[in-house]
Every structure is written in structure tokens, then in C-alpha cells.
Amino acid sequence: MEYIIYKENFQKGFSVTKALKNKKPRNIEELKKANYPLRTVKEELRKNLMAKIQRGEELFPGIIGYEETVIPQIENAILSGQDIIFLGERGQAKTRLIRSLVNLLDEEIPALAGCEINDHPYQPICKSCREKIKSLGDRAEIVWLRREHRYGEKLATPDVTIADLIGEVDPIKVAEGRYLSDELTIHYGLIPRTNRGIFAINELPDLGEKIQVGLFNLMEEGDVQIRGYKVRLPLDIYLVASANPEDYTNRGRIITPLKDRYGAEIRTHYPKTLEAEIQIMEQERNKFNDDGDFRTYVPPYLKELIAEITSLARQSPEINQRSGVSVRVSIANYESVISNALRRALRLGEKEVVPRISDLPYLAASTEGKIELEATDDDRGRHLIENLIAKATLNTFNRYFDVHQFDSLLAKFKTGWSIEVSERMKSSIYAEKTREMQLGSTEINGLWEGLKKLQCDQSPAAIASGLEFILEGLYLHHRLQKEKLPGKMAYHG
């Protein structure tokens, strides 16, 4: 009775997983009674993608900024049954996209028990499984493979061999008494072992050209050859690869016949907006749950500023743009300013963790290793990072303010007034200085309105952050002077 229910479910278009949820067939006979379908991995991906689109589900959770560009191309490639190569600079989520494709596979599929290459119970392709079917027929046992076990991945390096990917003669099996001509002496490589799944090759140009040639048959004719054996393995594989355009000239290339066999070449890109960059920063930064009573707050302007630094770096002629400026620069810089603010709070006995402009010099450590300068010079690298921070600060200031709204504040500086700031200074000192500036004067309201606009008026630590930003913006507009003192800076008229 239960197999009749499975059959009706399949005929109605129910998912394989839903139909088999209550009880899984244990051998081929039960699988046939359940009317389990025979379909390729590309058909499986296509069917599940269509269902997700119809249900309005998010296809690639955690992938930000590709909704209108990359993801539609991926959908078209899968619907077309095309293998994909992702082409883009480092830090553009190529590997994450590839690994996310696993979610389009069925939760579980049946395979012949004991098979090294996950043979379909209806159409075994390896010799041992064919012999098992001859011997046991429909009584042959099956196992169920979860989707995460149907994904294989290899980072291409010059030392990768055909044996690694396709297979090789196993000397132990030969020593056991089998003839070299016996197909059972083969030790399968990574690709056959991912049969009926997704196999990814990262940094494909690094793969030797002779090895790339070995992939031809797999992609076009759907089979592989091992060490000259007359063995045909019609593998069912969805092949995906990633490559950096820089690799074509510096480390290797994808040979034209192989590139031609990939159905879709999809270009990835860096975030096109600051909002997308900030979303990625928030999502990917390291988060800890053991900070106790410390309260972390990062003002919106500072998030924009950090994203702006990366955006400017991607346009700088002093940075090798072929190598790219990864979104990891933004993530690491975001983590660094928060950590420096926490370090300050720990030393000063404060509970509020709010980054300031005076924390930004520490971004050099989290930036330098992630950018490649056109000219190799350590001092030039530090100078470049300082310039990027200054320009990003100015651009962000201009998005929030018109400098003339602080004319009354500037007038106070012209009377000889000054403010000292430091990343080691207590937040309460900034709050007292702000109150002192407003005391007995209604003309300094521009400052308080500015702090409100920055969302930095709620606490002493937030006031300190907002005040430093406004002062630095006025300095960069040449409306204030800045003097470097031991361990601090002084702004004056």
C-alpha cells in the first residue's frame, strides 16, 4: 500500500524527498514499487530550481548584491543544463556561490550499496555494480546519499594529476591477483567519486594544460578514460569552475577547447553600492557572544566610511586593479575599528564600545596585506592608506553635511578655542567639552543637530565618535587646523 502512495505522489509531481519521507525503500525492488524516477543531476537541479522560483524562495541565502546581475545568469544556466565557470577577481563570493548550488539538489537520493561512484540502482555503470545486479537482481541493497555528500571540490594547483581527478591503477588490487586489464583494478579519482553530484574546480587556470585536456570527454561526451583502459564511464556530473582573469596571463590559462565546453561563463563583481558593501560587512564580520556587559554601537557614518575606503581603493591607480580589492578589506577593517574601540573601553573602564575617527589609523594592519601596490614600497603603502582614509572621511562628511552649517562653531574656534582628541581619551571628556561649547550660547546648535543626524547623540561614547568626525571633516575642508601632539591631536582655528 505504501508504495502505491509513493507512486501517486511522484505522478502528481511531489518532490522525491516528500514522497519518501515516511519510509525509504531498502532495495531496487522496493524502489521500483515506489516509482522512483530516473533523472540526471542536471534535470534534478533544474526541477528543484523551478520549484523554488515558483514558491518565491531565496535561492542563494547570504549572497548580497547579485540579485539583478549574477543570480539571473546562474538561473538561466541551470535551466539550460549548462556547466558554469565563474570568472571574477578575488573576494567576489565565487566559491560561496558554487557551494550554494548544493541546496538545489534533492535532500537524499538512492545509490547501490557499496558503490564507490554512487551508481544509480537502475543504471549501474561500474563493473562491480553490474556484476552485483546480475547476481542479486532487484534484491540488490541500496543506500541513501544526503545532498552534502554529493559535492566534490578541488583547488587547482600545478601538481594536480589525472590520477587525482579521474583515477589510476590500484597496485594493491593488482597484488591481490587481478589482471591489469581488469576494470576492478581501478582506483577512482575525485570526479568519478562525485558521480551524480556537483564537482567544482577552483582556480581552473592553475590546472596544467594536459590535465585540462583530460576533462574534454567528461564535459562533451559525458565519459572518462583511465590509463588507456577501454573503459567507458558515462558519469553524471554537474561541473562548475572558478577563475580569476588575472590568472590568464600570470599563472596559467584555460585552454580554448575546455573553455568552449562550459555552457555559461558568468562574471562576478564587487558590490556596486555602499549599502551592499555594508550589508556584507555586517553579515561576515566575526561575532562573539562573550562580551559580557559591553554594548557595541557602530554609527552609520562609520560603516559608510569603511565601505568608502574599499570603494576608493578599487579606483586607485596606485593599486593593482587586476588583482582586485576584495570585500574582505571592508570586513577586516570593520572588525579592526570595533576591536580598537573595545580595547579602549577595557582600558578606560567604560561599557560602551563605539569606534571613532581616531581609531582609523589602525586600519593599516588590516588593509596592507590585502592590496597589491603597483610599486613595492612600504612607506608608500602606509601613505596611500592614510590618503584613502582621509578622502573617504571627506566624501562621507559631504554626504551628511554642508560645511556652512558649522559656521557658528567655527567662529568659536576663531576666538582661540581648541579641542584635543585621542583614541585613548575617555568618552565623558568629549561629552563635557560638547556641553561646554553649548553653554551660554544658542548659536552652537549646529553641532548638536549634526550629532543627531549622525545618530551620535545618545551617549557619551557616541558623542565622542560624532564630534571627532565633524572636527575631522572641518579640518579636511581646511576650515580648522590640526596639530599632532604626543598621543593625541588638537583642532584649533
Phi/psi at 45 (5° precision): -60, -45
205 vs 65, 251, 268, CA distance in Å? 26, 7, 17
Q: Are 204 and 253 in contact (CB under 8 A)?
A: no
Coil, strand, or helix at residue 357? helix
Other beta carbons within 10 Å of 130: 15
d(CA 50, CA 215): 29
The set of cell numbers assigned to 209 is: 594544460
Q: Cell 582609523 identifies what position?
A: 360
Q: What is the per-residue pLDDT across 339-384, written as a single tens digit (0 to 9) for each? A: 999 999 999 999 999 999 999 999 999 998 888 887 666 677 788 9
Q: Give the type of residue at 40.
A: T
Mean pLDDT of 8-21: 49
* pLDDT at position 183: 62
Residue 209 pLDDT grade (very low, low, confident, very high; cuts 50, 70, 90): confident
The winner for highest mean pLDDT among 181-185, 244-248, 306-310, 375-379 is: 306-310
Q: Are 106 and 24 in contact (CB under 8 A)?
A: no
Q: What is the per-residue pLDDT across 450-480, written as a single tens digit (0 to 9) for each? A: 999 999 999 999 999 999 999 999 999 999 9
d(CA 214, CA 232): 14
Q: Cell 588593509 identifies what position?
A: 367
- Which of 109-123, 174-188, 368-382, 427-441 is predicted with the least confidence, judged by mean pLDDT? 174-188
Delimit the domains of the chain by residue range.
38-267, 274-400, 403-492
Kindly tell me the burial class for residue 358, based on how many C-beta atoms sit within 10 Å of its own C-beta (0-12, 13-18, 19 or more).
Answer: buried
Q: Cell 575631522 identifies what position?
A: 472
The set of cell numbers assigned to 33 is: 514499487
Other beta carbons within 10 Å of 198: 22
Residue 102 scores a pLDDT above 90 = yes
Q: Which residues pair with 84 in a beta bridge?
A: 240, 264
Spatial neighbors of 478 by CB under 8 A, at least 6 apart, are: none
Q: Are 493 and 416 in contact (CB under 8 A)?
A: yes
The mean pLDDT value of the chain amounts to 86
CA angle 395, 373, 158 (to 5 degrees): 130
Q: Are 143 and 181 in contact (CB under 8 A)?
A: no
* pLDDT at position 43: 96
The set of cell numbers assigned to 323 is: 588583482
Residue 325 scores a pLDDT above 80 = yes
Residue 208 scores a pLDDT above 90 = no
Residue 267 pLDDT grade (very low, low, confident, very high; cuts 50, 70, 90): very high
d(CA 207, CA 155): 9
Dihedral sign of CA atoms 437, 443, 447, 452 in order: positive
Phi/psi at 348 (5° precision): -95, 0
85 vs 74, 211, 259, 335, CA distance in Å? 10, 17, 8, 32
CATH level 3 topology of 38-267: Rossmann fold (3.40.50)
Residue 338 scores a pLDDT above 50 = yes
Dihedral sign of CA atoms 266, 269, 275, 277 in order: positive
* pLDDT at position 380: 77
Closest Cα to residue 192, out of 113, 125, 122, 114?
Answer: 125
Q: Cell 543531476 identifies what position?
A: 41
d(CA 148, CA 104): 11
* pLDDT at position 98: 96
Kindly tell me the burial class for residue 171, based on how many C-beta atoms sit within 10 Å of its own C-beta (0-12, 13-18, 19 or more).
Answer: exposed
Half-sphere exposure at residue 226, Cβ-oriented, CA atoms within 13 angstroms: 26
**Alpha-carbon dihedral angle through residues 473, 476, 482, 486, given to the nearest 10 degrees:** 80
* pLDDT at position 14: 46
d(CA 131, CA 386): 70
Closest Cα to residue 91, out of 320, 281, 311, 329?
Answer: 329
Residue 20 scores a pLDDT above 60 = no
Q: How far is CA 258 from the centre of its chain?
A: 26
Residue 281 scores a pLDDT above 70 = yes
